[in-house]
Structure 1
């Protein structure tokens, strides 16, 4: 998710100041993408430079407010309408770890898989409990719907990862069984006598 577009989406709901944007951003994403105030104000400065937001006075407490511009709305609409590019997926540490574990001396790759599966299943259970709480809170707080969507995405990701880990372990078992049942290739010895060739008979 682009931080700049996330801030534009919040500003389309009305003027906001920096720490307010940070709080709302983390609330809607369930703190899965934590921000600090410095990041928010740096991003706001760039958005202002690009003509996508503008300063809009101060609130009663003296906080500098920012509003989205027409250019910002156009940018936001384009972001919502453009599919997320999956042709260059981010590096996945787990996939790299398992790839490096294959054949690594002293590494039990199945133990690595089982340890990760335990962690993934626990995370999935935690997300499921949070989802139940979010569902209970939705009637009183419609903003909980945003957090609910994020939670469900995390649950689906964890489920997919657990299935993939099961697949990896099954694949390794099948390969190990196949290697154990394959006959050893015949080894030709260097001192084996060469085959004799028949000499043609000559007529006398």
Structure 2
């Protein structure tokens, strides 16, 4: 996620102080992505350096400094909003890497690893479902984040199920090859 662009979006609503930016960022993202106030100030300083925001004339850095978006900052924000995220290269997914590595580790039952991860993902999905149930109708940020996470987690469960089915299909062939591999290893 681009903190840079999220801060530009917040500033597009009007001038804000650094602490206010952090609070509004967390509120808008359903309070599931905490943002360090130091990251806010570092980011707005870069935005100011790049001419995308300006601050008031106070010499005091920190919470007393008010930031405003510039016209180039608005252009940058609109361009970012209109540009789909890159989806051409698969992201490095730790779970996928873990499964691929486990395939080559002697004595490891990959299907057991898949089931362990599946249980964990289902438990996480249950927490998000409970979070949604407890959210009020005005918690739109939280509800949208929870929905996005539930869909993402559902895709992981589907992949785990597909990987498990694929490995179970291959298991009989691997078992038949096991005596030949053992003889070759001697």
Equivalent residue number for residue 123 of structure 2: 122
Question: Which of the residues 96, 119, 140 maps onto 1:145?
Answer: 140
Equivalent residue number for residue 172 of structure 1: 167
Q: Distance in 1 between matches of 2:4 and 2:175?
A: 55
TM, length-normalised to structure 2: 0.86
Q: CA deviation at 1:181?
A: 6.0
When the two structures are aligned, how many residues end up with a matched partner?
175
| Contact 2:132/2:146 (8 A) holds in 1 | yes
Q: CA deviation at 1:89?
A: 3.5
| Contact 1:52/1:72 (8 A) holds in 2 | yes
Q: Which runs of 5+ in 2 are unaligned?
A: 181-186
Equivalent residue number for residue 12 of structure 2: 12
Equivalent residue number for residue 184 of structure 2: none
The higher-RCO structure (CA 8 Å, 6+ apart) is 2
Q: Which runs of 4+ in 1 moved over 6 A?
A: none
More helix as a share of residues: 2
Q: Secondary structure at the match of 2:68?
A: strand
| Contact 2:18/2:37 (8 A) holds in 1 | yes
Q: Secondary structure at the match of 1:90?
A: coil
- Alpha-carbon deviations, 1:159-196, whole Å to 9, x = none? 110111111111111101234468x98xxxxxxxxxxx
